Structure 1
Amino acid sequence: MTMAAVIDSRPAQAPSRAAGIARVDILTDLSSAEPIWRALEARGRFCSPYQRYDFLSAWQNHAGRHENASPFIVVALDGEQRPLALLPLALKRSYGCRVAAFMGGKHTTFNMGLWDRDFAASATPADLDRLLAGLRAHDAVDVLALTQQPLTWHDLRNPLALLPRQLSVNDCPLLAIPPGAAPTDLISSSFRKRLKSKEKKLQALPGYGYTIATSDAEITRLLDWFFQVKPLRMAEQKLPNVFAEPGVEAFVREACLARLASGNRAIDIHALTCDEEVIALFAGVADGQRFSMMFNTYTLSPHAHWSPGLILMRHIVDHYAGLGTRALDLGIGADDYKRLFCKADEPIFDSFVALTGRGGLAAAVLSAVNRGKHVVKHSPALLGLAVKLRQALR
């Protein structure tokens, strides 16, 4: 296995057991990390679909590059040089320090490492101490800013939850899907009837139907429509359009077209369409056990009157429940429509870890800023004031 871009291979502290971390390497380009990355994806499958190589390499090559974020990929190996974990981080300067955060920026709902499942299941605080010691030995970063991490993933604890942590700024609404659940167990009969009544209006349109994009041509056509309509919807809501930021459209297009080893796409696109137009579009990532929403929008035409976004969401819930998917989330944030489907919240956390003396103040500032944002987001009065202030400034 080649380590062409390894900053040096000074060993971390000696492991206390054979299966523990014996060395921590830092890779600074994607091509060097790809073999290890894909091997951990395939072998243990203990990562979220947001951490797939095809997804994050597309982000780094387009959006990340425009954000002046450089790859900072941490690989932990055991005494026999077997990868135990890979942290897909990107390095930027902030607060006068070198700050490493998860790749993906604003476009990942969940951030995680990629872990050997057996190691993750048995990881202890001492293992995390060795990981941090290995990073400190390289002296290449001052602060780890590890945000929006799930406490658990597919019923297994996230090893990074062993680090000091705090609540993330936002919650993530979650729909758990018990095995064999009936549709009415997930969406109430009354709500389902209301949506079916609205959908009858759309069903009268020539060529109306629910589709999951499969061909390159279909994916491209739906994305062309999305990138025309989404800026208008964001402006209507007086929200900044993150999809207009440099490199973001190219990232989304590449990731949506990327085909995984399984034959599936890195991002799934679901849509309601008719002969006349695209009516609604929801896109997200799936791994067989969970579907996680990334982005969505709906038509500007009068067909919007019939709640096509909610109708499409009902189709998506039914689709993934039929596949045996165990959970579904609609992304970060407490939008009202999400609560119509998701009654619970996914516990997510942030960790800000100083690795050098210079990084101590920056870690404290980053932690305090996020704590303050969490307070505002969970206080209706403060949130209302913040929204009015943001709109006034804009």
Structure 2
Amino acid sequence: MQTHKLDIHQQLLDEAAKAEAGSASLRSPNAELDVSVFDTIAMLEKDWRALERDNLTSLHQGYDWCRSWIEAHRRPLVILRGVCGSETAFILPIEIERSHGVRIAKFIGADHSNINTGLFTKRFLKDAVDPYRFAEGLRHALRGKADLLLLQNIPLDWRGRKSLLGLLPLVQNQNHAYQLPLLENFEATLKQLNSKSRRKKFRVQSKRLESIGGFDYVAGGTAGEQHALLDQFFAQKAERFKALGLPDVFADPKTRTFLHGLIDIRHGDDFGLEMHAIRLKGENEGHIAALSGISRKGDHVICQFSSINESIAKDASPGEFLFWQMISRLHGKGVALFDFGLGDQVYKRSWAPIETDHHDVVLPLSLSGNIAGLAHWAITRSKAHIKARPGLYIFAQRARSKIGV
């Protein structure tokens, strides 16, 4: 994978120095591109929905996904639209988040996104865009509205497609994502892994669950059942974070409202959020041993989150057992890729033969944005350094749990 290799410190300083000289237009081989800003999404709905039909566009940039977040959080919006001739070339769904007095322009819902691509027409993706003019167009459009453009978790090469956002100043994100291709049948998919060992493990897990009364695999269900399972996930995850001494990233009522809103998003086979669970039977009737929330767009399914309650049946590894159930069920349903999302976990590596690097766009728009950009770069590189060293990472995790951050 090739990346823009300019020195990031000098790059950020140069970008800040040029902030007053930008133009909102740049030249592609076909026509002039104009970048404009919108503070609402309704006017863009038609073009937005047309662009999101592209199978390789992230579901996190979908119109309904973003609308659910906007309705829950009500942050200021600076939606960027690039128009090439008479055609919308791209839409970047961006909101403003303030941090220590700095106005940061980020993808809508960035803190709960596993992959971000922006929305681009295929025609524009094929055009040769000058990196400097592209950056200047975005900077000019955002001038006075933000101090830093920080677009996170972008794969520079997603399923064979290069990202135009890779033309902007970048830093590699400390987190990678993990994917499992779904082949013609479950047996073929398992052959990408150690299928013999995995099948043996599944049989052992099944026997252990049956020995305590059995289980039901809950996949989808009525809207009421789905919302109830999501509330159970919040409770499970809160207990888990508390036990680890970590802050609960799902505690914010606005974030919970947003996630509940995703359950109600359905278009054909696509869905914003669908809850799956392992529910015990017998003397443990109703006990939810594992939960996962998945989303689908086109042939791509993402696991957004998961949780376990190991007070019963811990030795059956209910979380991993649930992944077996979900993945096997998706075969024959037009799904080509099961995505375990961001973050390095042992279970993800055991399931996923593909590891995808992600990058962050760090484009300063003012002096304070330049300082914030340098800080983000330094922190991100430090985290990547720590995560690349298992001993140091374990020490950092223990220290984090002790101080509760």
Equivalent residue number for residue 241 of structure 2: 234
The corresponding residue for 2:390 is 380
Q: Is the 8 A contact 2:29 2:128 kept in 1?
A: no
Match of residue 271 from structure 1: 277
Question: Does 1:257 find its partner at 2:269?
Answer: no
Q: For 2:89, which of 76, 84, 87 is the aligned residue? A: 84
**SS of match in other structure, 1:201:** helix
Q: Which moved more, 1:312-321 or 1:270-279?
A: 270-279
Tell me whether 182-191 or 290-299 shows the greater mean CA deviation. 182-191
Alignment size in residue pairs? 376
TM-score norm. by structure 2 comes to 0.84
1:111 aligns with 2:116: yes
Question: Which residue among 38, 43, 47 is the counterpart of 1:32?
Answer: 43
**Any gaps of 5 or more consecutive residues in structure 2?**
1-21
Please give the alpha-carbon distance, in whole angstroms, between the structure 2 residues aligned to 1:254 and 1:328. Answer: 23
Matching of residues 81-230 of structure 1 within 5 Å? 82-120=87-125, 122-126=126-130, 129-130=133-134, 132-139=136-143, 140-179=145-184, 182-187=188-193, 188-203=195-210, 208-230=215-237
> 2 CA distance for matches of 1:138 and 1:388?
40
Find the partner of 1:366 among 369, 376, 380.
376
What is aligned with 1:72? 78
Could you tell me how far apart the structure 2 residues matched to 1:228 and 1:90 are? Answer: 29
> Kindly tell me: are residues 267 and 330 of structure 1, through their superposed partners in 2, closer, same or farther at Cα, counting changes over 3 Å?
same
User: Displacement of 1:128 after TM fit?
Assistant: 6.8
Offset, 1:71 = 1.6
Label 1:240 to 1:77 Cα distance change in 2 as closer, same or farther (>3 A): same
Check 1:14–1:349 CA distance in 2 against 1; reply closer, same or farther (3 A cut). closer
**Pair 1:328–1:366, CA change in 2 (3 A):** same
Relative to structure 1, is the Cα distance of residues 127 and 282 closer, same or farther in structure 2, using a 3 angstrom cutoff? Answer: same
Q: Of the candidates 14, 17, 29, which is equivalent to residue 17 of structure 1?
A: 29
**TM-score when normalising by structure 1:** 0.87
CA distance in 2 between partners of 1:332 and 1:14 (Å): 34
RMSD: 2.5
Unpaired segments of 5 or more residues in structure 1?
Answer: 1-9
- Please state how far the C-alpha of 1:165 moved relative to its aligned partner: 1.8
User: What per-residue deviation string (whole Å, max 9, x for no partner) do you get for residues 61-105 of structure 1?
Assistant: 22x33xxx322211111111x211111111123354322011113
Q: 1:183–1:318: 8 Å Cα contact kept in structure 2?
A: no
Aligned equivalents of 1:148, 1:94: Cα separation in 2: 19
Give CA deviations for 1:358-393 in whole Å, capped at 9, x if unaligned.
Answer: 432222222122111211222223222322221222
**Which has the higher relative contact order, 1 or 2, with Cα contacts under 8 A spaced 6 or more apart?**
2
Shift of 1:311: 0.9
